[in-house]
Structure 1
Amino acid sequence: MNDQELIAAIAAARREAAEVPERIREIGRAAFAWRTVDAELAALATEAPAGARAEPAAVRALTFAARDLTIEVEITDDALHGQVVPPRAGEIELRDRTGVVAVARVDEVGWFVLGPVPRGMFRLHLRAGDAVVVTEWITI
């Protein structure tokens, strides 16, 4: 075996060793899905007055309620403006199905701005002090 053949054989062996079997990939994806298992899920709070008509309308304000806090969001043409109540500083992420789309700092009075406005399904992921809260998926 000459040097070129040896180099080609080593390269082929490295490529083969680097390939990850599909079953291992599935296990990795399943494990990754559990990364936020300790985060509290914040549900969308719906407050429709009794007897209100159910007409289609553009969603402009959302409130996500968790055990110890709420995340209030107003949707404008170019961003999501929000507040964490009670106020606490931290970081909030806007995530879609592909991952993190935007990250914003939550200031000491709980205010944040995330943009641009997401298209399709999204959720928010808040880390503030010892609180970790993930909202349910929503489409606006």
Structure 2
Amino acid sequence: MTDDDRLLTDLGAAVKAAAAVPESFLAAGRAAFAWRTVDADLATLTEPAGALMRGASRVWTLSTGEVTIELEATEDALVGQVTPPAAGSIELTGRDAGTVTAPVDELGWFTLRPLPTGLFRLRLTPSIGSPVVTEWLTL
């Protein structure tokens, strides 16, 4: 190895070291990200087995104790109802995709299209009350 090769190797290592993010910064970022839903109640599955099968559909019941979200995956959409009924909006965030938002009518009904692929979670923002975030689900 020539002196030029060693110099280039040393310079490359120095640039990589300068560009590396310190672990303390990464830990602080993860901790801050965890606080993004601190104002929302977490809705968890009420069936221990997860999603139930009803015909060709999958059905979930998620609950915070005060709010229940019934969710059904049909051929082309997620259809659901919030109990107690309240108008608002519901947002579907996919782990590998973007975000889809749909209105929730005064009876608590909503439809989210298209069907998510992979992991997804919902965030319900009712017109009255606290936001609700579901745990991660998959079809």
* Fold shared by both chains (TM-score > 0.5): yes
Cα separation, 1, equivalents of 2:20 and 2:28: 10
* 1:55-94 mapped onto 2 (5 Å cutoff): 60-94=58-92
Cα distance in 1 for residues equivalent to 2:119 and 2:34: 17
Q: CA offset at residue 58 of structure 1?
A: 6.2
Aligned-partner residue type, residue 115 of structure 1: R
Instruction: Check if 1:42 corresponds to 2:43.
Output: yes
Aligned residue number for residue 135 of structure 1: 134
Superposed CA deviations along residues 24-45 of structure 1, whole A, max 9, x for unmatched, are: 4653343123110221111111
Structure 1 position 120 matched with structure 2 position 118: yes
Amino acid at match of 1:41: L
Summarize the Cα distance change of 1:43–1:123 in structure 2 as closer, same or farther, 3 Å threshold: same
RMSD: 2.6
Task: Please name the residue that 1:15 is paired with.
Answer: none
Paired position in structure 2 for 1:32: 33
For 1:26 and 1:99, how far apart are their aligned partners in 2? Answer: 25
Contact 2:123 2:134 in 1 (8 A): yes
Contact 1:93/1:100 (8 A) holds in 2: no
Aligned length: 115
Q: Secondary structure at the match of 1:60?
A: strand
Task: Read off the aligned partner of 2:129 and give its amino acid letter.
Answer: D
TM-score, scaled relative to structure 2: 0.71
Task: Label 1:90 to 1:100 Cα distance change in 2 as closer, same or farther (>3 A).
Answer: farther
Question: Do the aligned partners of 2:63 and 2:69 also contact (CA within 8 Å) in 1?
Answer: yes
**2:102 maps to amino acid:** A
Name 1:22's counterpart in structure 2.
21
Task: Tell me the TM-score normalized by structure 1.
Answer: 0.70
Unmatched 5+ stretches in structure 1: 1-19, 49-54
